């Protein structure tokens, strides 16, 4: 029997970053939302939208957290990031009538164990790069050093989007294997590595809601993984994203649903694992059709930011229905406008960054745009400035803010997002100015304009390429 979404519905949202700020922003638009609780260590934007949960968010304290959820009558727990999924929060917090949006630990293995995901894809004939998994350093080195074609070396475990090295040469591949398995730069995540063929083509992020039976494919997004303009430099968690993607039409999405999403959910089911939550397929559109680079078991970051600004309807009800198995009755539509999110980063990202710098210009960024346009600044690596009081923000991470613009078409949304991002001020702030350039047919990044932001971007690019 379908259990309707309670009204009011109290929600605990786990996660502290930009994706979660966008989710919270959209949840706040729901007429059903009761109290929204967030983690005490949430960013400044999230803390402005929700009450900090007083209990420690720790699996060791799961008993206390559960009792607190009972006392506060939490109806729905929404898990944003992969960490808590891998730690099994979905299993720990689904008690009684309480629902959890996010797959179980077993189901989220698709993300936290790339070797497992690779095997499952193979068994379900899901198109993906040819590859092999290794737990032995010597075997991995032997394999990497005889491959003639360029390859990609991946830490099998969770590495905050940084555990993938796209290699040009055998020597680079061997170094990448040594980094992961011998020097342990990704910690335990690199105990197993996957070495796979290097694919070519544009990338696409397809996220779908899955309630165990029904799969609902959301509008596709495109991320920008490399730190530098022109797609150079090291991989990052994501430097900017847009939604929808002009080339990803319904026909392509039907192929992704038929060849990727349905077979993988079925393959899990054959192992008696039910998938509930959002399933993210990171794809490369190769001449031979779409192929899977990775699965994530959560909303993408920064893809969620443009996605949420376009989503129409009641996100709370949609998440509730996904968690309780009645997605077939949901109503999900998207604003016809395009959305582009520019990630404003702190100097040094994706390496170590300085923290504690005062952020200015958020109001000015949100004031950009004309009629029928909107800019929303989502916080990511920020925290409130204790000395300056509520409403202020200082930097606390590499990806600091996501400046998201909605406008009539992709080019205008990108220009608006870029203009708004340039209003953000803190020492060393930089961002990519060439988002969507490839799909818009812009061959070179736009000419440099004077200003510190641009110079920083170039410095990082040079560092990354070197």
Closest C-alpha to 103, from 275, 327, 322 = 275
Member of 235, 355, 374, 392 binding ligand AMP (CB under 6 A): 235
Chosen from ligand AMP, ligand GLY, none, partner binding at 300 (C-beta under 5 to 8 Å by type): ligand GLY
Least Å from the CB of residue 223 to ligand GLY: 4
Q: Mapping DSSP to helix (H, G, I), strand (E, B) and coil, where does residue 190 land?
A: helix
User: Is residue 282 at the binding interface for ligand AMP, with CB under 6 A as the rule?
Assistant: yes
296 is a contact residue toward ligand GLY (CB under 6 A) = yes
Q: Which of 225, 379, 396, 418 binds ligand AMP (CB under 6 A)?
A: 225
The site map against ligand AMP for 179-198 (x = CB under 6 A) is -----------------x-x
- CB within 8 A of 65, min separation 6: which ones? 55, 56, 57, 58, 92, 93
How many CB atoms lie under 10 A from the CB of residue 448? 11
- The structure tokens 């009539």 sit at 408
152 touching ligand AMP, by CB under 6 A: yes
Full DSSP string of 56-84:
---GGGHHHHHHHHHHTT--EEEE-SHHH
Q: Which does 213 bind (CB under 5 to 8 A by kind): ligand GLY, ligand AMP, none?
A: none
Per partner kind, with CB cut-offs from 5 to 8 A, the member of ligand AMP, ligand GLY, none near residue 99 is: none
Sheet holding 51-52, edge to edge: 51-52, 33-38, 9-14, 76-79, 99-101
SS3 284: strand
Q: How far apart are CA 261 and CA 124, in angstroms?
A: 10
164 binds ligand AMP (CB under 6 A): yes
Give the count of residues interacting with ligand AMP (CB under 6 A). 15
User: 3-class secondary structure for 23-56?
Assistant: HHHHHCCCCCEEEEEECCCCCHHHHCCCEECCCC
235 binds, among ligand AMP, ligand GLY, none (CB under 5 to 8 A by kind): ligand AMP
The mark string for 196-215 relative to ligand AMP (x by CB under 6 A, - otherwise) is x-xx---x------------
Q: What share of the chain is helix, strand, coil (3-state, %, to 5)?
A: 30, 25, 40
Total residues at the site for ligand GLY (CB under 6 A)?
7
List, in order, residues 6 or more apart from 39 with CB less than 8 Å away.
13, 14, 15, 16, 46, 52, 53, 57
How far, in Å, CA of 216 to CA of 429, rounded?
37
CB of 264 to ligand AMP, least distance (A): 15
Should residue 238 be labelled a site residue for ligand GLY when binding is judged by CB under 6 A? yes
Among residues 203, 303, 314, 317, which is the contact residue for ligand GLY, using CB under 6 A? 303
- Our finding on whether 161 is near ligand GLY (CB under 6 A) is yes
Closest approach, Cβ 238 to ligand GLY, in A, equals 4
Is the Cβ of residue 285 or residue 344 nearer to ligand AMP in the bound state? 285
What tokens does 410 get? 């992709």
Given a contact cutoff of 8 angstroms between Cβ atoms, the answer to whether 85 and 103 are in contact is yes
Residue from 55, 87, 203, 301 that binds ligand GLY (CB under 6 A)?
301
Should residue 43 be labelled a site residue for ligand GLY when binding is judged by CB under 6 A?
Answer: no
Distance in angstroms (rounded) separating the CA atoms of residues 42 and 379: 10
Q: Which of residues 212-231 bind ligand GLY (CB under 6 A)?
A: 223
Residue numbers of the site for ligand GLY (CB under 6 A)? 161, 223, 238, 296, 300-301, 303
Residue numbers of the site for ligand AMP (CB under 6 A)? 129, 152, 154, 161, 164, 166, 196, 198-199, 203, 225, 235, 282, 293-294
């Amino acid at each position: 029997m379908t259990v309707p979404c309670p009204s009011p519905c109290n929600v605990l949202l786990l996660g502290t970053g930009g994706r979660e700020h966008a989710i919270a922003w959209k949840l706040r638009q729901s007429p059903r939302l009761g109290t929204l609780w967030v983690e005490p260590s949430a960013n400044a934007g999230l803390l402005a939208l929700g009450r900090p949960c007083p209990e420690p968010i720790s699996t060791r304290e799961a008993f206390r957290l559960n009792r607190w959820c009972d006392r506060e009558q939490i109806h729905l727990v929404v898990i944003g990031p992969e960490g808590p999924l891998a730690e099994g929060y979905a299993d720990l917090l689904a008690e009684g009538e309480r629902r959890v949006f996010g797959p179980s630990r077993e189901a989220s293995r698709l993300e936290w164990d790339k070797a497992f995901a690779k095997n499952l894809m193979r068994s379900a004939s899901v198109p993906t790069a040819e590859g092999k998994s290794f737990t032995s350093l010597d075997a991995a080195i032997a394999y990497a050093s005889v491959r003639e074609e360029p390859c990609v070396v991946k830490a099998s475990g969770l590495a905050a989007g940084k555990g993938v090295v796209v290699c040009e040469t055998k020597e680079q591949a061997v170094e990448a294997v040594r980094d992961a398995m011998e020097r342990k730069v990704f910690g335990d995540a690199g105990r197993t590595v996957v070495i796979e063929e290097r694919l070519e083509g544009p990338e696409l992020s397809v996220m779908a809601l899955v309630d165990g039976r029904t799969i609902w494919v959301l509008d596709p997004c495109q991320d920008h993984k490399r730190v530098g303009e022109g797609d150079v430099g090291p991989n990052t968690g994501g430097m900017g994203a847009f939604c929808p993607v002009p080339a990803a039409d319904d026909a392509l999405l039907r192929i992704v649903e038929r060849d990727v999403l349905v077979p993988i959910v079925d393959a899990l089911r054959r192992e008696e694992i039910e998938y509930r939550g959002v399933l993210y397929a990171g794809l490369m559109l190769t001449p031979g059709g779409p192929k899977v680079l990775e699965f994530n078991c959560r909303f993408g970051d920064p893809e969620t930011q443009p996605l949420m600004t376009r989503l129409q309807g009641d996100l709370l009800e949609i998440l509730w229905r996904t968690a309780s198995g009645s997605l077939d009755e949901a109503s999900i539509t998207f604003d016809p406008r395009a959305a582009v999110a520019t990630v404003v980063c702190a100097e040094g990202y994706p390496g170590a960054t300085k923290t504690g710098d005062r952020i200015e210009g958020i109001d000015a960024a949100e004031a950009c745009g004309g009629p029928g346009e909107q800019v929303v600044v989502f916080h990511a690596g920020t925290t409130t400035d204790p000395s300056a009081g509520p409403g202020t923000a200082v930097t606390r991470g590499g990806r600091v803010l996501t400046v998201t613009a909605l406008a009539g078409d992709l080019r205008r949304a990108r220009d608006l997002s870029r203009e708004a991002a340039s209003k953000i001020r803190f020492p060393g702030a930089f961002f990519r100015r060439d988002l969507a350039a490839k799909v818009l047919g812009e061959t070179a990044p736009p000419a440099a304009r004077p200003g510190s932001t641009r110079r920083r971007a170039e410095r990082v690019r040079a560092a990354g390429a070197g």
